[in-house]
């Protein structure tokens, strides 16, 4: 008898997918609302994103193991929504795969002692062959590898931030030195999309449902544990940064688009940062690798469902080829091309992490009734909550691009 997949392993897949290198952008993106505001925005986003993921899970219980977005949306929402959702899913997951190969290959090339400017392709192939090979082999290998990476991330995170956590100051956290008329909540709109991108795992819900042989309550526990671990990591990171670097000192960091080197440079004026830059580079590498594993596992299972591949080795080979070869070739030919479209990832992701899950659950309950063995908490009110959450995020992103929403400059 084969060993049953572990709950912890499933949770680590979720944590690994969620906690990408984008987490380093959170303190800068939320500097306008500052520490307490950032915690509320993160909590609101975490609850809404977790709930939308659990909605997908309940819908999944009415379909065969292996059914992903294509089957669910086509059956419940029709061809039009399926085209829109499919384009959004493919755009986000392919672009993230492309971006992770690019960033991971830079770090890999440097790690093996080569010059990234001259030998980037070597790092691309090494990174790709190791981590894409894990996803191609099986979800169980992803489970094991991700657990190791998350363990390393937690150790390096504690190593990098323990000093800053101990020196965090309450007056800095509360921005006590700010003038009495200082405004914070007007900047919530620009913070929301970044926080949404920090809790993306929805492509993995169907993968875990399949991995756990249709045990929906176990998948739900994995989603809770995995996202809660991510929430704690984010909150501690906010505490470490916002507790040492005053809000008024964020101007150079914002001007540099949250560049981690600039952030650490400014932090060093107020607290001892030691070898923080080197430690965070290790953290970033493991975060990128674990996110690559989670994102591509979800993409592979989505494409398997879309093209009707079976679960044989031949079927998995076909799905892996469609999953990995396009972003690899694009990265080899156009290594920085994603920069021009990466800003639209959050907008596209909102479609299938906010709007579509709410619509799916509403349609599913009308057609199938309650979930088999699992029902997400709440009724119609929660469906409306998640849908409105998606609408708010789309408006926030569109209004930010139109320079209508106020942006904190420091």
Residue 389's pLDDT is: 97
Confidence band (pLDDT; 50, 70, 90) for 301?
confident
- Asked whether 349 and 95 are in contact (CB, 8 A), the reply is no
Range name among 97-111, 172-186, 236-250 with the lowest pLDDT average = 97-111
Higher pLDDT pick, 285 / 386: 386
Cα–Cα distances in angstroms (integers) from residue 130 to residues 99, 133, 145, 404, in the given order = 16, 5, 11, 44
CA distances for 273 relative to 168, 174, 179, 239, 285, angstroms: 13, 22, 29, 15, 19
Using an 8 Å Cβ cutoff, are 106 and 98 in contact? no
Average pLDDT over every residue of 372-398: 92
pLDDT confidence tier of residue 1, bands split at 50, 70 and 90: very low
Most confident of 9-18, 117-126, 307-316, 328-337: 9-18
Quick one: pLDDT at residue 279?
85
> Using an 8 Å Cβ cutoff, are 243 and 167 in contact?
yes
Q: Is the dihedral of CA 139, 144, 148, 150 positive or negative?
A: positive
Tell me the backbone φ, ψ of residue 19, rounded to 5 degrees.
-85, 80
Q: Is the pLDDT of residue 3 over 70?
A: no
Contacts of 2 (CB under 8 A, 6+ apart): none
Residue appearing with tokens 């030919």: 333
Minimum mean pLDDT range among 26-30, 141-145, 290-294? 141-145
* The CATH number, out of the four listed (1.20.1740.10, 2.40.50.140, 3.40.50.12240, 3.40.50.300), of the domain defined by the range 7-402: 1.20.1740.10
Angle at 352 between CA 320 and CA 74, to 5 degrees: 75
Q: Poorest-confidence range of 72-86, 108-122, 242-256, 330-344?
A: 330-344
For the stretch 36-94, pLDDT in tens is 999 999 999 999 999 999 999 999 999 988 888 999 999 999 999 999 999 999 988 99
Question: What whole-number distance in Å separates Cα of residue 160 and Cα of residue 274?
Answer: 9
Q: How much is the pLDDT for 201?
A: 92
Dihedral pair phi/psi, residue 375, rounded to 5°: -135, 125
Give CA–CA dist 58/365, Å, rounded. Answer: 9
Share of the chain above pLDDT 70, in %: 96
DSSP string for 62-123 = TS-TT--HHHHHHHHH-HHHHHHHHHHHHHHHHHHHHHHHHHHHHHHHHHTT--HHHHHHHH
In this predicted structure, the answer to whether residue 34 has a pLDDT above a threshold of 90 is: yes
Low-confidence winner among 104-118, 125-139, 185-199, 351-365 (lowest mean pLDDT):
104-118
Q: What 8-state DSSP symbol labels residue 373?
A: S
In this prediction, residues 119-134 reach a mean pLDDT of 80
In eight-state DSSP terms, residue 247 is G
Q: Retrieve residue 253's tokens.
A: 């960091």
Share of the chain above pLDDT 90, in %: 39
* pLDDT for res 157: 84
CA max distance for the chain: 67
103 vs 279: CA distance, rounded Å:
17
Flag whether pLDDT at 218 surpasses 90. Answer: yes
- Banded model confidence at residue 150, pLDDT cuts 50, 70, 90: confident
In the chain, where the domains are located: 7-402
What are the angstrom distances between the C-alpha of 126 and each of 101, 120, 276? 10, 10, 26
Distance between CA atoms of residues 213 and 209, nearest Å: 6
Q: From the CB of residue 30, how many other CB atoms can be counted at a distance below 10 Å?
A: 28
């Amino acid at each position: 008898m084969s060993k049953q997949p572990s709950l912890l392993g499933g949770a680590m897949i979720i944590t690994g997918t969620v906690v990408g290198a984008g987490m380093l952008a959170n303190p800068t993106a939320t500097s306008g609302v500052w520490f307490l505001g950032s915690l509320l925005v993160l909590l609101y986003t975490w609850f809404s994103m977790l709930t939308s993921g659990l909605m997908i899970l309940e819908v999944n219980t009415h379909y065969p193991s292996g059914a992903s977005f294509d089957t669910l949306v086509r059956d419940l929402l029709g061809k039009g929504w399926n085209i829109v959702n499919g384009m959004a899913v493919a755009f986000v997951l392919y672009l993230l795969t492309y971006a992770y190969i690019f960033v991971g290959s830079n770090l890999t090339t440097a790690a093996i002692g080569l010059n990234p400017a001259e030998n980037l392709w070597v790092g691309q192939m090494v990174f790709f062959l190791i981590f894409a090979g894990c996803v191609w082999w099986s979800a169980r290998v992803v489970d094991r590898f991700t657990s190791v990476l998350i363990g390393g991330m937690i150790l390096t995170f504690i190593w990098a931030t323990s000093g800053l956590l101990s020196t965090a100051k309450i007056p800095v956290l509360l921005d006590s030195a700010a003038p009495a008329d200082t405004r914070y909540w007007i900047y919530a709109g620009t913070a929301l999309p970044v926080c949404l991108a920090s809790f993306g795992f929805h492509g993995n819900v169907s993968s875990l449902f399949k991995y756990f042989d249709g045990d929906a309550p176990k998948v739900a526990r994995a989603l809770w544990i995995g996202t809660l671990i991510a929430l704690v990591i984010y909150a501690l990171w906010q505490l470490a940064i916002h507790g040492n670097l005053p809000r008024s000192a964020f101007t150079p960091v914002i001007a540099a688009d949250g560049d981690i080197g600039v952030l650490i440079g400014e932090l060093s004026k107020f607290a001892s940062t030691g070898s923080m830059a080197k430690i965070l580079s290790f953290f970033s590498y493991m975060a990128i690798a674990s996110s690559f594993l989670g994102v591509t596992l979800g993409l592979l299972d989505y494409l398997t469902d879309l093209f009707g591949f079976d679960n044989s080795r031949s079927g998995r080979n076909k799905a892996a080829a469609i999953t990995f070869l396009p972003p690899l070739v694009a990265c080899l030919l156009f290594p920085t091309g994603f920069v021009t479209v990466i800003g639209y990832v959050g907008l596209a992701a909102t479609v299938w992490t906010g709007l579509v899950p709410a619509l799916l659950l509403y349609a599913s309950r009308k057609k199938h009734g309650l979930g088999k063995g699992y029902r997400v908490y709440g009724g119609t009110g929660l469906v409306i909550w998640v849908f409105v959450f998606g609408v708010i995020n789309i408006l926030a992103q569109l209004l930010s691009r139109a320079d209508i929403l106020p942006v904190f400059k420091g």
